[in-house]
Structure formats: C-alpha cells, structure tokens
C-alpha cells in the first residue's frame, strides 16, 4: 500500500492529485526534496522530468507554477465521498460480519495489526486495490486548510524560507499562505533584511499586486549573497586619483565615496559612475582621519585642524582650531564629533556651529583611537591605557589598565569596550565597572583592525562571540601572507584586506575561507590594499604601493542583482 502510511499522530501525505506535488508529505516539508527526486514507480527522475507539473522543489528562486482552479479541499471531499459510497456493498452483509467486527474491536492494538496482516495475505489483487481506494483519502487531508488562517500562518512560520518556497507549489491555498507579506517580513527580520525604498514605491504603485514585496526582498538578498559567495566577479570600476600618494582614510555611504590622502586633499566620488565629483582642498598637511554623514564630511590633518565640508558643493563650512598636534582619530555621532590628537587630548565639537564644547585631558601620550556613543567617550592611547569619559563634566570615570604596550584600536557598543594593543592582546572591558572581562590572546602582531556588532567581535585573524559560549574561529591555511590592514563584516560574511595585496571573503558562521575578491598582480612585491569599505552590494578598495609597483586608485566591485 504504497504511500498510505502516516505517522502515529495521524498526519498524512498529499499524493496522487493532479497538479499537486506527488508523494510529498505535507506535515514534513523538509522531506519534499528527497521525495520529489523519484517518480511514482520509485525510479529516479531525469533532470528534465523534475521540472514538470509544479514539482520543482529544488528550484527555489523561480516563479511558482500556477495551480489548477479546483481547490485541494474540493478534491479531498470528493474523493472521501466516493470512497464512502464504495463501502456500501451491493448485497446484504452476512450476519457473521458483525460478530467478527465486535471481536476485532475487543482485541489489543498488536492483535488488530496481526489480524489485518493475515487478512491482507488472503485478499486478491482487486480487493487490495479496493482497500487502497478507501484508505488513501484518509491520508490526503490538508490539515493546513482546516485551520484558521492566522493559525495556519503560525504553523508555516516555523518553516525555513527554502521550505516555504516548496510549500507554495503544493496547491493554490498553500501558495496564497506562503505569499503572505507578514510571513516574509518576519523571515526578512530574522536575516536582518530591511525593506528597500524601491519596494515601498513598488507597493504603492501596485496596491493590488499579490506577490509579497518582502518575499521579493528576501529572494533579492539571497541572490546578492550568492553573488558575493560564488558569482562571477565583474570587472571593477577603477577610480584614479591622489597620484602616487597613500590613501589614509576611506568612507563609503549610499552612492558616495570619500577618500583622504597624505597629499593634503580629500576626493568625493560617485560609486555609480566612478567619477570624481569634488576635490576638497584646504588642509596644509596630510589628511589622516575622516568621518561622513550624508553630505557632511569631517577631516583631521597633520596641520592640527579639523575641517567640516559640504560634499555636494566642495565648500569648507568650518575649520576647527584647538589641537596642537596631528589630529589622528575622530568619531562622529549626530551633530557632534570627538577628535583625538597626538597632543594627548580629546576635543568635543559641534559640527553645525564649529564650536569646541569640551576638552578632555588625562592621557600622557598620543591619543590613537576614540569611540563616542553620544553619552560616553572612550579613548585609547600610546600610554598603554584606555579611558572612559563623561564629556559634559570633562571627567575621566575609568582608566582601564592592563595592556603592556600602545593601544591602537577600540570598539564600543554601549556595554562592552574592546581594545587592541601592540602587545598583541585584545581585552574586553565592562564600561560601567571598568573591569576587564576577557583577555583574548592569539594574534602574533599588532591588532590594528577590529569590528564589534551584535556581540560578535571580528579582529585581524579570527572572531569570537562575547556572550554565552565563546566560540572562536581562527583563520587557517588561507590566511593573509602579511598584515591585515582593514576588515568589514555583515550578517553572513567577513571581508579582510592586507599588505599582501589581496581582499579575502570569509564565512562568518563557520570561519571558512570563501574566496579572494581582489588579488593584485603586484601583491607580494609591493602592492597593498590599504582600506576597504563595504555595503550590502558594493565593495570599495583603496589600493596602491609604497615602492611604485601599484598605481594609487580605488576599486569598486558590484555584487547587486538586476531588479527586472
């Protein structure tokens, strides 16, 4: 009785109905792929046959095949009714039948199974066929259609997105449920996918369109991820500028790129066309730090000033005086920016007025890195310490001691402070108590690049979760052959650049190397990737050399998909 057995809980299979997925257990969607690879006779289908009658469960990103107009419930009720009519014999049943049925009812479960087994052995093929016609409809009940829509959607919400796409091909009603916009919005939320602006416009223009915009966003993001992971690398846009100077800082937001250089200038580029739209001229020394928000750019220089620029017009809006040495680092939050200098001080500025609001004094050596969340300022310096400041009172609330060499990098998420030092260690601190929670060892040299997001810390040669079990991934045989210069990470990938002239992609979840995104021909002989910045669909790399083997330029790689 092929395909008639269900689970002990009574959950059955939808099978044998025209236009529906053949022999696919409706209560266990993840099994559909395995089931769909075989035909009704149990033999494997050829690739061409797997695409027939809407049963292509493997092709998750293609459009669903329209189902017949007859609903699943109509077919189920019709077949059950026919089966009930066939149970009425054409002659009066013998009196012994009722006695046998009463005896059967008194038996235990194992005894009933034994009796049925013996009965089947004594039946002729026509009688076996009749039993199948009667029994099969009992296992073809669409339990989802029997539930209220809200409960049915709740059940489907536990499916993985791939299985939702398969379920949509089961029948018309399942497709309606699987296209539910709120259902796919939740799937997008789980993946950290935000609704793009073009989807909002599309939905307003087509209010009657039944295809879920959130599903569209999910599938689009899936294709983008696959482009990063394994798609053919398109020739990058090459943005040439800054002559043979070093690109010291890089910002990328929306379609605007800003590069700063030791040639005393910043350049504003279009990420779409690759054109240099503005050159910001005004510093009298090399630019060593920058920040950007929308069309506002702030730069810090060896000329001891900060400048606030309008990226659209190229105009210098304010020049901020106060530091007595190179402005080496800064962090922008809202309309305020905190700058750190080799003069061992930090200054808090209002970028709209150009006014210096507060001066933070306490370090005894150059300030190398700073973070600001609008409430607290955290700084790291060459005096081996990390300091936590209340900028309004200009007081140092904690001095975090433990490093045995210069502090070069910081990350701060409002709860944890993570500091990287020339002593090769990374320390995790509690911002409220000032206590050192963890000391992470493993680097062989300076930790100059780190990122902290959602309790995941990524540093130059690995990453670690800061809560729960501290699972750490260390980069293995495919690691860079020279110092890591910069890194970025998203919900799925880590991107790293190096002095060896390569940009590498890693899987955030497993720690495995995925592939090289950039490999300079001059890598290993002087070619360097100095900085990288990444968005969801683009990667910007600042490359060059210090010995003339590689021309200074920006490379823009595009991983977007065609929306048509």
Query: Could you read off the pLDDT of 290-339 as tens digits, one per residue?
Result: 999 999 999 999 999 999 999 999 999 999 999 999 999 999 999 999 99
3-state secondary structure of 223: helix
Q: Cα dihedral sign for 510, 515, 517, 520?
A: positive
CB 61 within 8 A of CB 219: yes
Q: State yes or no: pLDDT of 249 exceeds 50.
A: yes
Q: Residue 462 — very low, low, confident or very high, per pLDDT cuts 50/70/90?
A: low
> Which of the residue ranges 6-20, 119-133, 267-281 has the most confident prediction, judged by mean pLDDT?
267-281
3-state secondary structure of 242: coil
pLDDT for 169: 87
Residue in 328, 281, 72 with CA at minimum distance from that of residue 176: 72
181-191 and 213-230 helices cross at what angle (nearest 10)? 30
d(CA 357, CA 354): 9
Q: Residue 1 — very low, low, confident or very high, per pLDDT cuts 50/70/90?
A: very low
pLDDT for 476: 61
Q: What is the mean pLDDT of the chain?
A: 81
Q: State yes or no: pLDDT of 21 exceeds 70.
A: no
Q: State yes or no: pLDDT of 136 exceeds 70.
A: yes
CB 280 within 8 A of CB 268: yes
Query: What tokens does 503 get?
Result: 């940009």
3-state secondary structure of 562: coil
pTM of the predicted protein model: 0.72
Tell me the average pLDDT across 355-373.
Answer: 98
For the chain, the first-to-last Cα distance in angstroms comes to: 48
Cα-Cα-Cα-Cα torsion 159, 162, 163, 165, nearest 10 degrees, comes to 110
Per mean pLDDT, which range of 199-203, 209-213, 546-550 is the poorest?
A: 199-203
What is the architecture of the domain spanning 449-564? Answer: 7 Propeller (2.130)
pLDDT for 484: 86
Q: Residue 284 — very low, low, confident or very high, per pLDDT cuts 50/70/90?
A: very high
pLDDT for 525: 87
pLDDT for 192: 83
Query: What tokens does 450 get?
Result: 């780190």
| Beta bridge partner(s), residue 399 | 387
Task: Supply the DSSP symbol for 488.
Answer: E
Nearest 5°: the CA angle 252, 551, 525 is 110
Helices (H), 4-135: 32-36, 72-86, 95-106, 109-121, 125-135
Q: State yes or no: pLDDT of 65 exceeds 50.
A: no
- The domains of the chain are located at 1-90+98-177, 179-232, 449-564
SS (H, E, C) 339-408: EEECCCEEEEEECCCCEEEEEEECCCCCEEEEEECCCCEEEEECCCCEEEEECCCCEEEEEECCCCCCEE
Q: Residue 133 — very low, low, confident or very high, per pLDDT cuts 50/70/90?
A: confident
Q: Residue 93 — very low, low, confident or very high, per pLDDT cuts 50/70/90?
A: confident
Per mean pLDDT, which range of 202-216, 442-456, 480-494 is the poorest?
A: 202-216
Query: What tokens does 377 get?
Result: 């300022």
pLDDT for 115: 92
Tell me the average pLDDT across 120-143.
Answer: 86
What is the spatial order of strands in the sheet that 266-270 belongs to?
247-253, 256-261, 266-270, 276-280
Tell me the average pLDDT across 145-149.
Answer: 88
- Listed in order, strand segments (DSSP E) in 302-344 are 306-310, 316-320, 327-333, 336-341
Per mean pLDDT, which range of 62-71, 110-119, 371-380 is the poorest?
A: 62-71
């Amino acid at each position: 009785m092929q395909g008639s057995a269900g689970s002990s809980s009574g959950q059955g299979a939808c099978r044998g109905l025209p236009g529906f997925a053949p022999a696919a257990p409706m209560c266990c969607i993840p099994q559909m792929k395995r089931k769909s690879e075989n035909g009704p006779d149990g033999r494997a289908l050829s690739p061409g046959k797997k695409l027939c009658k809407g049963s292509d469960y493997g092709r998750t990103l293609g459009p669903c095949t329209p189902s017949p107009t007859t609903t699943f419930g109509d077919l189920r009720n019709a077949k059950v009714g026919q089966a009930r009519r066939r149970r009425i014999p054409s002659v009066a049943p013998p009196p012994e039948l009722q006695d046998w049925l009463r005896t059967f009812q008194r038996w235990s479960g194992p005894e009933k199974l034994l009796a049925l087994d013996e009965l089947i052995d004594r039946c002729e093929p026509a009688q076996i066929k009749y039993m199948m016609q009667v029994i099969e409809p009992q296992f073809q009940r669409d339990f989802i259609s029997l539930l209220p829509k809200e409960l049915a959607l709740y059940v489907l919400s536990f499916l993985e997105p791939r299985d939702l796409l398969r379920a949509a091909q089961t029948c018309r009603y399942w497709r309606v449920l699987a296209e539910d916009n709120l259902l796919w919005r939740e799937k997008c939320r789980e993946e950290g996918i935000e609704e793009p602006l073009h989807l909002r416009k599309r939905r307003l223009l087509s209010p009657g369109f039944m295809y879920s915009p959130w599903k569209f966003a999910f599938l689009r993001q899936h294709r983008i991820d696959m482009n990063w992971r394994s798609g053919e690398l398109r020739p990058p846009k090459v943005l040439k500028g800054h002559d043979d100077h070093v690109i010291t800082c890089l910002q990328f937001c929306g379609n605007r790129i800003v590069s700063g250089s030791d040639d005393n200038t910043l350049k504003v580029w279009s990420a779409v066309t690759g054109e240099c739209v503005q050159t910001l001229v005004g510093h009298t020394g090399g630019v060593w730090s920058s920040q950007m928000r929308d069309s506002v750019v702030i730069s810090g220089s060896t000329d001891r000033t900060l400048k606030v620029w309008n990226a659209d017009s190229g105009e210098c809006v304010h020049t901020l005086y106060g530091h007595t040495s190179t402005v080496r680092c800064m962090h922008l939050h809202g309309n305020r920016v905190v700058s750190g200098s080799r003069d061992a001080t930090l200054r808090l500025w209002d970028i709209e007025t150009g006014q210096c609001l507060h001066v933070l004094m306490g370090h005894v050596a150059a300030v190398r890195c700073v973070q600001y969340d609008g409430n607290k300022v955290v700084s790291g310096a060459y005096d081996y310490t990390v300091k936590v400041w209340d900028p309004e009172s200009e007081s140092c609330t904690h001095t975090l001691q433990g490093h045995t060499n210069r502090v070069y990098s910081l990350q701060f998420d409002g709860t944890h402070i993570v500091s990287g030092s020339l002593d090769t260690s990374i320390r995790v601190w509690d911002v409220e108590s000032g206590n050192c929670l963890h000391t992470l060892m493993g680097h062989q040299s300076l930790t100059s690049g780190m990122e902290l997001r959602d309790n995941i810390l990524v540093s130059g040669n690995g990453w670690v979760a800061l809560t729960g079990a501290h699972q750490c991934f260390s980069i293995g045989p495919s690691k860079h052959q020279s110092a890591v210069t910069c890194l970025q990470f998203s919900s799925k990938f880590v991107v790293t650049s190096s002095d060896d002239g390569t940009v590498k992609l890693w899987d955030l979840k497993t720690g495995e190397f995925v592939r090289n995104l950039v490999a300079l021909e001059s890598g290993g002989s002087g070619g360097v990737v100095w900085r990288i910045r990444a968005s969801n669909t683009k990667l910007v790399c600042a490359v060059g050399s210090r010995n003339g083997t590689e021309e200074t330029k920006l490379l823009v790689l595009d991983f977007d998909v065609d929306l048509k």
